[in-house]
A = this chain, B = another copy of it.
């Protein structure tokens, strides 16, 4: 493994340890509620948001080990959004991370509640962190806004609204990319900056671009990869009439667009303080990712 991969795995392992202790200590009844929460939390995944958070803390002089609540809250909010998104009434996906999705495993009603419980538990962790000080409270509010009705949920709503709509524009697509995906990818970077008392505007800009790149490559993979490679159903966007970059401007123009966003990411990074090589490599990895 090269330096980037070693560091990514180290952050990931740190996060998995924190997640595992959290899940072991989870005192929730009835069992099915605890099990459905654990099932979705522990089903793997890239852990991109916690990794971004830990890496940014490291860069800015923070201590990842001490800010575990934020990393857990980030992944819980991401996980709840996947559980609700996979429901039959939403994107109706039977697979997630190569395993049956939460509602396939526990039934729809339990999946709805597992999602609700993860969102609520994320806030419970954020309140605990917020009790430690002013900066923690600000960082918690930042995540709350990124996840909320003017953030990720707005993106999900727009994503549904634009299904099979003939007159969608590039602005509609940008709204979806920014809200559905980029808000929660920029959040860990902005939170790290807030916690370390560093300016956050450049990190917000980089995180937003990285999030859009992530969603764009997701849409490209939906066209190019197989279900096995993805661990979730491939080719669904077109079947469901999703508004994606590929639908709007075609595959090769979308690839060019991804290259362009990658360049903009790297150029924003150049002006940042410290050794940003991890983020440079991560950006290029997101561009080239195969799942």
A-side residues, CB < 8 A to B, are 26-30, 32-34, 37, 80, 84, 87, 89-90, 107-110, 112-113, 115-117, 119-121, 123-124, 126-128, 130-131, 137, 140-141, 144-145, 147-150, 153-154, 156-158, 160-161, 175
Q: A277 → chain B, closest Cβ, in Å?
A: 35
Q: Which residue of B has the minimal Cβ distance to A162?
A: B30
Q: Are A124 and B137 in contact (CB under 8 A)?
A: no
Q: A28-B149, A33-B157, A127-B141 are in contact. Are A108 and B120 (CB under 8 A)?
A: no
A80 to B150, CA, bound (A): 17
Contact of A32 among B30, B87, B161, B175 (CB under 8 A): B161
Q: Are A154 and B30 in contact (CB under 8 A)?
A: yes
Closest 3 interchain pairs by CB?
A89-B108, A117-B149, A120-B148
**Does B27 contact A150, Cβ atoms closer than 8 Å?**
yes
Do the beta carbons of A153 and B110 come within 8 Å of each other? no
Task: Specify which chain B residues have a CB less than 8 angstroms from the CB of A117 in the assembled complex.
Answer: 148-149, 153, 157
Q: Which residues from chain B contact A156 at a C-beta distance below 8 Å? A: 113
Across-interface contacts of A113 in B (CB, < 8 A):
84, 153, 156-157, 160
Given contacts A84-B112, A117-B148, A130-B130, 6 further A-B contacts (CB under 8 A): A30-B154, A33-B149, A109-B160, A120-B144, A123-B148, A127-B137
| Closest Cβ–Cβ distance, residue A269 to chain B (whole Å) | 30
Q: How many protomers of this protein does the assembly include?
A: 2
B160 touches A110 (CB 8 A): yes
The CA of A169 and the CA of B149, in the complex, are separated in Å by: 40
Task: Select which of B90, B144, B153, B160 is within 8 A of A123 by beta carbon.
Answer: B144
CA distance A109 to B32 in the complex (A): 24
A161 contacts across to B, CB distance below 8 A = 30, 32
